[in-house]
Amino acid sequence: MTAGAQLHGKVAIVTGGASGLGRATALALAEAGAEVVVADLDETGARDVAELTGGHSRGCDVSDLAANRTLVDFAVERCGGVDIAFLNAGVATGCGIGDDFDPALYRRAMGANLDGVVFGAHAVLPALRARGGGAIVATASLAGLTGVPLDPLYSANKHAVVGLARSLGPALAPEGIRVNAICPGYAESKIVDPIRGMLSEQGVKLIPAEVVADTVLRIVTGDAAGECWFVQPGRDPQPFRFRNVPGPGGD
């Protein structure tokens, strides 16, 4: 069975779809046969990608619950339903804890990176249930699997996305709704722009956005739930194997 046959007749929402990982994944989903709704704060960019996919575009601030509901309503009305949600929108933090802490930047990052996943999942659940199941993939990060002293607040909200996917996955799997996360290292996207020069100086290879998109496609066409797939240069993407927490000790 070809990828196109697998997703023919499916409807996918992609947030943060105007560029980077979202753009690459929107194109991959469309090539695989899905009808794609591209959502982004950058409405012009979203429209440009939608023209390439033959799909639809919508402006959306994922940090707002009502905006997420409006996005899902648009997809249902325009396309007949939703089968896949790639909750990908995200931003760099731009501040740390201490002298450079900025509450506005902190709230902006939490709103996009965590609230955008929570609100997006909450908003799309009724549409997925109406279809008898579906798939949610949230963009976390390798920063959600390890500590990142360079940006501890980004690491914190990405750890939260990982925890949400691992917890919500088993909870919704009995309904045929598969929730997973993808955890790329440094990948080709706008989010690395502030540190692009530093990464280049250190010889860090950026992961092509298409590699991440292909991994998302593997997840949505598979049967996994509650997994967090890492993507790193030179390695085959696969689920991260978490160690079990220690059980109770003896008296």
Domain CATH for 136: 3.40.50.720
The catalytic position among 86, 106, 154, 186 is: 154
Q: What angle do CA 119, 103, 186 make, to 5 degrees?
A: 65
Percent of the chain with pLDDT over 70: 97
pLDDT band at 1 (very low <50, low <70, confident <90, very high): very low
Look-up of token digits 């919704």: 172
Active site residue 186: no
| Residue of 229, 232, 228 whose CA lies nearest to 207 | 232
Range of the domain at 131: 3-231
Region of poorest pLDDT, from 26-40, 48-62, 188-202, 222-236:
188-202
The answer to whether position 250 is within a domain reads no
The answer to whether position 246 is within a domain reads no
Burial class of residue 14, CB neighbours in 10 A (0-12, 13-18, 19+):
buried
Tell me the pLDDT tens digit for each residue of 177-232.
999 999 998 788 877 777 777 777 777 788 889 999 999 999 999 999 999 999 99
Q: According to the model, what pLDDT value does residue 130 have?
A: 98
Rounded distance between C-alpha atoms, residue 210 and residue 10, angstroms: 20
Tell me the pLDDT tens digit for each residue of 127-154.
999 999 999 999 999 999 999 898 999 9
Q: Is 62 helix (H, G, I), strand (E, B) or coil?
A: coil
The answer to whether position 238 is within a domain reads no
Beta strands in 67-117 (DSSP E): 84-87
The answer to whether position 48 is within a domain reads yes
Q: Mean pLDDT, to the nearest integer, of 10-21?
A: 97
What is the pTM (predicted TM-score) of this model? 0.94
- How many structural domains does the chain have? 1
The answer to whether position 249 is within a domain reads no
Rounded distance between C-alpha atoms, residue 118 and residue 83, angstroms: 17
The answer to whether position 160 is within a domain reads yes
Question: Is 239's pLDDT higher than 70?
Answer: yes
User: Residue 22 has which token pair?
Assistant: 């979202």
Q: Mean pLDDT, to the nearest integer, of 44-62?
A: 98
Q: According to the model, what pLDDT value does residue 33 have?
A: 97
Rounded distance between C-alpha atoms, residue 250 and residue 134, angstroms: 43
Tell me the pLDDT tens digit for each residue of 162-178.
999 999 999 999 999 99
pLDDT band at 251 (very low <50, low <70, confident <90, very high): low
The answer to whether position 42 is within a domain reads yes
